[in-house]
Copies of this chain bind each other. A is one copy, B any other.
Amino acid sequence: MVRHWEDFHVGDVIEVGPVTVSEEEIVEFALRFDPQPFHVDAEAGRRSPFGGLIASGWHTTALFMGMFVRAVLLDSASLGSPGVDEIRWTAPVRPGDTLTGRSTVTDVQPSSKDPRRGTVFTTNEVFNQDGVLVLRLRARGFFARRAL
């Protein structure tokens, strides 16, 4: 059953993932979108405060999105997102890390403009294989409402 706006409830928890990220993927993403030395060069990473190569925070965010889309949005009536209310990169993501995500529905609101859609608010947390929180993300998404 395709998930519509009415199918999200405050307190729902959805587990997503896992995904493992390689050094090659970290460097490839960073060369295109965030070529700071500690994201593209292992030796520069070792000399940095991070003590080694780390993924761009935008890569971590994109990896979470990939997990969330495959677990939730592809089988939903998603109508996109107006934005994100907070991102915190709370610990580095390093080559070989395996990430899992946990999304909690914090609010659901019908649209005041369009009776055919509503907004779902979530707080999303991503953990590495040691249970360390690496990303916290408060987001909102639009979903179609079920036809009456």
Contacts from A to B (Cβ < 8 Å): 32-36, 38, 48-50, 56-58, 61-63, 65-66, 69-70, 73-74, 78-89
Most chain B CB inside 10 Å of its own CB: which residue of A48, A56, A57, A62: A62
Copies held by the complex: 2
Residues B81 and A89 in contact, CB atoms below 8 Å apart: yes
Known contacts A34-B66, A62-B58, A65-B34; is-contact A87 B84 (Cβ 8 Å): yes
Of B48, B58, B79, B87, which is within 8 A of A65 by CB? B58
Q: Which residues of B contact A79 (CB under 8 A)?
A: 48-49
Most chain B CB inside 10 Å of its own CB: which residue of A50, A63, A84: A84
In Å, the complex CA distance between A96 and B73 comes to 26
Known contacts A58-B61, A61-B58, A86-B84; is-contact A69 B34 (Cβ 8 Å): yes
Residues B69 and A36 in contact, CB atoms below 8 Å apart: yes
Residues A56 and B65 in contact, CB atoms below 8 Å apart: yes
Most chain B CB inside 10 Å of its own CB: which residue of A61, A65, A82: A65
Known contacts A65-B58, A66-B32; is-contact A88 B82 (Cβ 8 Å): yes
